Chain A
Amino acid sequence: MKIVIFITLAVMTVALCLAFVRLVKGPSLPDRVVALELFSTLSVGIIGVSAIMTDVASFLDVSIVMALMAFLATIGFSRFLERGGPRDD
């Protein structure tokens, strides 16, 4: 079980790195917002895996709050873009 958890964490870390490349490269602001949303979804998963690894169920509350914050951040960013944010960057 330990090995499976470590493989899972390693794969998800690689996924985080790939999303980070898109966050840095992203030709426009919406692309970066998509990468940030993927970031937060990945961290929800990583928190779930660490809840299994440490046997602490309270981590799930953290992941609920994280998902909520990510949703609000995405909605806020898209409102900002529609109401005349930077057209190009």
Chain B
Amino acid sequence: MIDVIKGALLLGGAAFMLLAAVGVLRLPDLLTRLHATTKSATLGVAMIMLAVALHFGEVAVVARAFGVILFLLMTAPVAAHTIGRAGYFVGSKLWSGTLKDELRPNYDPLTHELKSGMETEANATRQSKDSDTR
């Protein structure tokens, strides 16, 4: 029984990793490629590490396998965020079918200044009052 579950986890993990690689090869721009790798590959590694935990069945190995899963789940989004941010700043092109780029009108690439899009003259010159919580 354990062998069947283990085999299914291994094959599923490999399939998700293949999916991530196909996505990275076929998708049109940087952000969609990030979308493919960061989720699909993390899920694939998580399934394979579950199979490893089932295979050994000792406390130390299971703890390490879950450590790998936890570490990947924590670091993959951070890495994807930083590289996506760097790619946007460097000016990598978005896909021609992109519908919405909400950063474009509010962000100045030279000064790295980000506006909220709701600035008014009254707000810019407004003084803070004593009753404001700091």
Contact = CB atoms under 8 A, between A and B. Distances in A.
Interface of A: 1, 4-5, 7-8, 11-12, 14-19, 21-22, 28-31, 33-35, 37-38, 41-42, 44-45, 48-49, 51-52, 57, 60-61, 63-64, 67-68, 70-71, 74-75, 77-79, 81-82, 85, 87
Interface string B44-61: 110011011001101011
Which interface class (under 10, 10 to 19, 20 to 34, 35 or more) fits B?
Answer: 35 or more
A16 to B, nearest CB: 7
Interface in B1-58: 3, 6-7, 10-11, 13-15, 17-18, 20-22, 24-25, 30, 33-34, 37, 41-42, 44-45, 48-49, 51-52, 55-56, 58
Interface in B85-120: 85-87, 89-92
Contacts of A78: 79, 82-83, 85-86
Given A28-B92, A42-B17, A57-B58, A71 B45 contact: no
A1 to B, nearest CB: 6
Interface of B: 3, 6-7, 10-11, 13-15, 17-18, 20-22, 24-25, 30, 33-34, 37, 41-42, 44-45, 48-49, 51-52, 55-56, 58, 60-61, 64-65, 67-68, 71-72, 75-76, 78-79, 82-83, 85-87, 89-92
Given A38-B24, A68-B71, A61 B45 contact: no
A18 B15 CA distance: 13
A63 B64 CA distance: 10
